[in-house]
Structure 1
């Protein structure tokens, strides 16, 4: 039985949304296709009507995650104050405590290196984010803007990874706070 195009597109989007959330929460290997389908309210069978493989879903999930990152960036005021607000929002306890709703880079970077089929999409999208951050915010010097953007993003992502990795909440808060101070 064929489903209407709109219904098929809605199911595809739902699978992608739940997969992206679950991958960010538990990693690629920590989530099965069956669990993703169950989270969408669908059975395992229709998965292959939407994706050829779990790896294809992983790639699309990474692309969707970066789209959210770019959307959030573009929704931020393109001023020095906007950049400071962006950093503060990113390096917050709320973001740290909700990896499934947060940044793909901070949640999945360490796993990407083990996933050759995902690495290209991740690389392309990271370059796009760096270019967008470079162009969106004012920097002290046009000559060093790209380097400043790379340092800012690497510091933010690294701080989030470390803040999530430690078991001491006060130390985790300190990591976020100190990196925030260094960037704003």
Structure 2
């Protein structure tokens, strides 16, 4: 039987991570079995262990990749607004606190879709979540500082504000998703109210 090339192995690993990212965001880590996950990736159960020692190892990679993708998008948004930190921050909020993001957790940010999973899955998973969270806090803090006159910049205050702001962004999605099917009007109201308040920052 011919050996799989390293390129094919890397491709298969990436397919598993992508499939797991979508399924974990939609159903939670505990809501998806390895058989179903590998089926989504177009592979068999046995192939899983050629790439990961455990489902938990895969979860860590999903968190890492998910935050890397989200932070790359943040960098892109900031790059689109080189002359205005305020406009960049508004664009980040605009892309995050939306009905579209609420309704499509599979393609959305790991910060909201996998927050509860991080709380339940121990220190390794939480370390990956914390790493991604720090990336968001650093980006938002930098924008808040850039929007202030140089002689008034306070990094500690900017970090506190970034923590509060991003917590509201994530929380608005988590709460809106929690009632989206049973009370869609309330869910829309949660998104709209938080979006309005965040944009007033």
TM-score scaled by structure 1? 0.94
Whether the aligned pair in 1 keeps the contact of 2:176 and 2:187 (CA below 8 Å) is yes
TM-score scaled by structure 2? 0.87
**Aligned CA-pair RMSD:** 1.4
Number of corresponding residues: 184
Stretches of structure 2 that go unaligned for 5 or more consecutive residues are none
Deviation per residue, 1:33-62 (Å, 9 max, x gap): 111100011011110000000000000000
CA displacement at 1:108 relative to structure 2:
1.2
Stretches of structure 1 that go unaligned for 5 or more consecutive residues are none
In the other structure, the counterpart of 1:133 is: 140
Whether the aligned pair in 1 keeps the contact of 2:63 and 2:129 (CA below 8 Å) is yes
Question: Which one has a bigger Cα radius of gyration?
Answer: 2
CA displacement at 1:101 relative to structure 2:
0.5
Whether the aligned pair in 1 keeps the contact of 2:64 and 2:128 (CA below 8 Å) is yes
Whether the aligned pair in 2 keeps the contact of 1:69 and 1:103 (CA below 8 Å) is yes
More helix by share: 2
Taking the aligned partners of 1:70 and 1:41, their CA distance within structure 2 comes to 28
- Structure with higher RCO (Cα < 8 A, 6+ apart): 1
In the other structure, the counterpart of 2:194 is: 179
In the other structure, the counterpart of 1:101 is: 107
